[in-house]
Amino acid sequence: REGAEARLSDLTRLSERSGQGQAAELALVREQLGDAMRVKRELEMECHRLAYIVDASKQSVTDTTREVEALRFELTGKTERYNSALTSLNEERHKGLESARKLQKTEEELSGVQRLSATQWGLISAAGQVLKD
């Protein structure tokens, strides 16, 4: 009977030690689980923050794209108006050059007529002088 009680006592102590080991292991697992849950929450918060940043970036890109399209449209209009004005100026320049050529030709003709008139006037004056004499 003493042998059985000693054996029972040994088994009880072994069971208590095993229970203490399991409790320590359980506490460690709980701590690791708590750490894992904390990391999971932090990762979820970071994912939400990054999703917000992505949405804001998408909106910014959309707004910028709209602005670029509006500026491109405005620039196209200005370019067309500039080209039209440039064409008109070139046409006016061409007309001006043509008018200058015509004026030059008219001045040359007038100069020739004036020389001819002076010559004729000289002849008329000389003839008048001859008739007086």
pLDDT digits (tens, 9 = 90+) for 5-50: 777 676 666 666 666 666 667 777 888 888 999 999 999 999 999 9
Output the average pLDDT for the chain.
87
* Global model pTM greater than 0.85: no
Taking CA atoms, 83 is separated from 86, 88, 89, 124, in Å, by 5, 9, 10, 60
Residue 49 identity (one-letter amino acid): R
d(CA 63, CA 56): 10
- The confidence band for 1, taking pLDDT boundaries of 50, 70 and 90, is low
